[in-house]
């Protein structure tokens, strides 16, 4: 046998599978049309939805929050945000709609972080942007209290203590404690507060109101005193205030104030007693029952200008700006007397004889 090696047989390799092609088969014309239509419909749908969203939001921006004739007041507390504001509106009966509109408005206007606490009034004129701007500006509801000329401090206290919005911090305090609380240096409160209408937001205190009226009076009095007529038988602005309070009580007719001031100034210059009934009534206090009698005129008190010369020690009422002006700008003339005519005006006389005749005519009904 031959020792030559036998040739090796080659193994047959298994048949390889053809790899699938990664390229998609081309779309048929009809398939392409369907895809284009689908994309077109989707685009139109999104556009229509976006347009509806935009139109809805624009309508929200220009629509008043309330119909004519309605009004709502809300209290926006410190530390609250936009969602709490919308909730307050809902609780007040305001149809706020979808909350996303308010959130978008706040984001666009950049007012969300600028909203200020306070009491706000929603009326038919306000749109959502108007309301947010009003709250960001702090345009809160303002409440008022009117101080009437001729009233006493006791009347003012009663009005302040009965006000439904003012925060009472001085309830139970006496007059001296109130004066100390507002930084007043006077010992008697009468006449120290300027009669005007004062406006303030919810949360304002009685002390703040007293202080404001006191400072306003001091300013008005200083201005009147600086423009006074010279010479005058008045030694200080406080004496001018006392005289103004008497003028305020003697007449409610503006045109008479300078004439009445002239009568009192001439009496002071001549050393005559003022003899004015309102000072007697003030000195009587609670004893006054609506009638003043001859005995009352003779009963001495610090304020009785029938028994004492000069001005009383304090004002007898709250005097307004017109009375302050009259006190330092008395009308020229020679009248020394006046008597009420019964129609709100007075008859002025130069002599006692003329005055007695006027008293008989207007007070006693004798011609």
Residue 126 is part of a domain; what is its CATH number?
3.30.1490
- Which of 190, 222, 254 terminates a domain? The answer is 222
Residue 346's SS3 state is strand
One domain, residues 303 and 195: no
* Domain containing residue 348: 230-362
64 domain-assigned? no
- Chain segment 26-65, per-residue pLDDT in tens: 555 556 676 665 665 656 555 555 667 788 889 999 999 9
One domain, residues 86 and 146: no
Mean pLDDT, residues 58-87 taken together: 93
Print burial letters for 214-229: b (CB count within 10 Å at least 16), e (below 16): bebbeebbeebbeebe
- Chain segment 216-227, per-residue pLDDT in tens: 999 999 999 999
One domain, residues 252 and 192: no
Question: 247: Cβ–Cβ under 8 A, 6 or more apart, which residues?
Answer: 257, 260, 261, 264, 319, 323, 326, 327
Tell me whether residue 127 is exposed, middle or buried, using C-beta atoms within 10 angstroms of its C-beta: 0 to 12, 13 to 18, 19 or more.
middle
Output the pLDDT for position 8: 55
One domain, residues 103 and 121: yes
245 domain-assigned? yes
345 domain-assigned? yes
- Which of 201, 222, 243 terminates a domain? The answer is 222
Query: Global pTM?
Result: 0.81
pLDDT at 312 over 80: yes
CA distance 79 to 74: 15
One domain, residues 131 and 147: no
179 domain-assigned? yes
User: What is the share, in percent, of the chain residues with pLDDT greater than 90?
Assistant: 80
One domain, residues 272 and 259: yes
pLDDT-based confidence at 184, cuts 50/70/90? Answer: very high
CA distance 33 to 362: 109
Q: Are 66 and 73 in contact (CB under 8 A)?
A: no
pLDDT-based confidence at 2, cuts 50/70/90? Answer: very low
One domain, residues 239 and 194: no
- Which of 137, 152, 176 terminates a domain? The answer is 137
Output the pLDDT for position 28: 57
One domain, residues 266 and 322: yes
Half-sphere exposure of 319 (CA within 13 A, CB side): 35
One domain, residues 85 and 190: no
Output the pLDDT for position 10: 54
Output the pLDDT for position 308: 97
- Chain segment 63-72, per-residue pLDDT in tens: 999 999 899 9
One domain, residues 249 and 157: no
Q: Are 195 and 147 in contact (CB under 8 A)?
A: yes
One domain, residues 238 and 324: yes
289 domain-assigned? yes
User: What is the share, in percent, of the chain residues with pLDDT greater than 70?
Assistant: 86
CA distance 366 to 237: 42
> Count of domains in the chain?
3
pLDDT at 13 over 90: no
One domain, residues 215 and 236: no
């Amino acid at each position: 046998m031959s020792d030559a090696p036998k040739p090796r047989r080659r193994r047959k390799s298994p048949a390889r599978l053809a790899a699938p092609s990664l390229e998609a088969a081309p779309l048929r014309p009809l398939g392409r049309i369907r895809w284009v239509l689908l994309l077109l419909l989707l685009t139109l749908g999104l556009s229509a939805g976006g347009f509806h969203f935009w139109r809805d939001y624009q309508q929200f921006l220009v629509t008043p929050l309330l119909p004519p004739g309605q009004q709502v007041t809300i209290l926006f507390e410190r530390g609250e945000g936009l969602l709490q504001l919308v909730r307050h509106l809902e609780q007040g009966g305001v149809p706020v709609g979808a909350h996303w509109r308010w959130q978008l408005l706040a984001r666009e206007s950049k007012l969300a972080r600028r909203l200020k606490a306070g009491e706000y009034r929603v009326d038919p004129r306000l749109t959502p942007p108007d309301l947010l701007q009003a709250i960001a500006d702090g345009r809160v509801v303002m409440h008022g209290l009117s101080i009437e000329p001729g009233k006493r401090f006791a009347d003012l206290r009663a009005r302040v203590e009965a006000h439904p919005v003012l925060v009472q911090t001085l309830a139970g305090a006496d007059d001296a404690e109130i004066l100390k609380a507002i930084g007043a240096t006077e010992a008697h409160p009468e006449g120290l507060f300027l009669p005007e209408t004062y406006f303030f937001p919810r949360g304002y205190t009685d002390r703040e109101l007293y202080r404001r009226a006191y400072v306003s009076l001091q300013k008005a009095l200083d201005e009147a005193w600086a423009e006074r007529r010279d010479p005058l038988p008045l030694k200080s602005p406080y004496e001018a205030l006392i005289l103004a309070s008497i003028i305020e009580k003697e007449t409610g007719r503006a045109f008479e104030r300078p004439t009445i001031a002239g009568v009192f100034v001439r009496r002071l210059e001549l050393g005559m007693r003022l003899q004015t009934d309102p000072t007697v009534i003030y000195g009587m206090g609670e004893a006054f029952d609506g009638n003043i009698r001859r005995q009352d005129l003779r009963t001495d008190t610090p304020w009785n200008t029938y028994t004492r010369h000069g001005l009383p020690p304090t004002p007898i009422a709250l005097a307004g700006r017109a009375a302050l002006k009259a006190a330092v700008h008395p009308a020229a003339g020679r009248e020394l007397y006046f008597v009420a005519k019964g129609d709100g005006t007075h008859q002025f006389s130069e002599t006692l004889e003329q005055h007695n005749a006027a008293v008989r005519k207007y007070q006693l009904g004798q011609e």
